[in-house]
């Protein structure tokens, strides 16, 4: 049972629209098409924790640490420093390795997570994990087991998910979903953020304008985008 302690999303102006942030120890998705800002959002969430002295894990299935660190240095985020102090663990895992962690009931990842006292965890991107399973029931079962393991560690999780054909993987298994949009409007592109669901929380009805500027994701809560 989730309490009502909240964990900041790290996105300015978003927390007060969703009851203070993600529920502590909840599992959430940030979903969107390619280039919509999922990885930026996920790292911004961890960075908020790191700045508050919370231990964080970023599991990347697709992108290399070096590239991500270089890209995000453009936002002024010194991720290497947090790694040096032991507060951030960046793991270049394969989905298969995470499947084994689940099969082992926590495995080597549990040792790392409990040793560092992890408070926030990101998996980027869960759609690659979903591809390991052909059967719906196996995929659901593995996700449930993974979420239970992360829950046991007492951390708040943010998982990214690609949207293909309008479908968000694991959508009914998570506590919260934030969808990022990057749409073409009259010859230019516009970014927008939509809170799709947040269990036990009143959520904004409107799809809000969002930008990725030199400090990361910023939300304009009173500007709306019609899709
Ligand atoms: N350092 C930066 N400075 C400014 N904008 C950036 C920076 N890094 C990324 N962006 C912008 O953010 C956009 C989205 O990046 P992000 O990698 O988070 O998307 P994504 O949804 O994770 O995509 P994918 O599904 O391909 O992984 C980039 O296309 C770029 O426009
Ligand atoms: Mg990404």
Question: Has residue 227 got a pLDDT over 90?
Answer: no
User: What element of type H or E holds 209?
Assistant: strand 208-213
The answer to whether position 186 is within a domain reads no
Domain count, the chain: 1
Confidence of residue 1 (pLDDT cuts 50, 70, 90): low
CA dihedral of residues 179, 182, 183, 184 (deg, nearest 10): 180
The answer to whether position 197 is within a domain reads no
Q: Residue 204 CB: number of other CB atoms within 10 A?
A: 15
Q: What is the CATH number of the domain that holds 58?
A: 3.40.50.300
Q: How far is the CA of 92 from the centre of ligand 2 (A)?
A: 14
Does residue 39 have its Cβ closer than 6 Å to ligand 1?
yes
The pTM of the full predicted model, rounded to 2 decimals, is: 0.97
Give the pLDDT mean for 209-224: 97
Using CA atoms, how far apart are residues 55 and 47, in angstroms rounded to an integer?
10
The 10s digit of each residue's pLDDT in 137-163 is: 999 999 999 999 999 999 999 999 999
The answer to whether position 220 is within a domain reads no
The answer to whether position 4 is within a domain reads no
Q: How far is the CA of 199 from the centre of ligand 2 (A)?
A: 25
The answer to whether position 150 is within a domain reads yes
The 10s digit of each residue's pLDDT in 35-77 is: 999 999 999 999 999 999 999 999 999 999 999 999 999 999 9
DSSP state at residue 33: S
Does residue 141 have its Cβ closer than 6 Å to ligand 1?
no
The answer to whether position 200 is within a domain reads no
The protein residue with its alpha carbon nearest to ligand 1, atom 15, reads 37
- Domain of 38 in residue numbering reads as 25-179
Q: How far is the CA of 165 from the centre of ligand 1 (A)?
A: 21
The answer to whether position 89 is within a domain reads yes
The answer to whether position 100 is within a domain reads yes
- Ligand nearest the Cα of residue 71 is 1
């Amino acid at each position: 049972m989730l309490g009502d302690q909240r964990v900041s999303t790290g996105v300015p102006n978003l927390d007060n629209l969703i009851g203070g942030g993600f529920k502590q120890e909840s599992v959430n998705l940030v979903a969107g098409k390619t280039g919509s800002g999922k990885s930026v959002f996920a790292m911004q969430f961890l960075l908020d924790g790191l700045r508050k002295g919370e231990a964080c894990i970023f599991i990347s299935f697709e992108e290399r640490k070096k590239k991500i660190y270089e890209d995000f240095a453009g936002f002024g985020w010194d991720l290497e420093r947090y790694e040096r102090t032991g507060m951030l663990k960046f793991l270049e895992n394969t989905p298969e390795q995470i499947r084994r962690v689940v099969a082992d009931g926590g495995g080597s990842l549990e040792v790392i997570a409990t040793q560092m006292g992890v408070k926030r965890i990101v998996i980027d991107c869960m759609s690659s994990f979903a591809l390991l399973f052909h059967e719906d029931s196996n995929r659901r079962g593995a996700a449930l087991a993974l979420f239970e393991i992360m829950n046991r560690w007492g951390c708040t999780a943010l998982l990214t998910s690609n949207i293909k054909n309008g479908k968000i993987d694991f959508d009914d298994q998570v506590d919260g979903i934030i969808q990022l949009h990057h749409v073409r409007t009259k010859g230019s592109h516009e970014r927008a953020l939509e809170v799709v669901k947040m269990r036990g929380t009143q959520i904004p009805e409107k799809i809000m304008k969002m930008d990725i500027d030199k400090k990361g994701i910023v939300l304009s809560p009173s500007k709306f985008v019609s899709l």
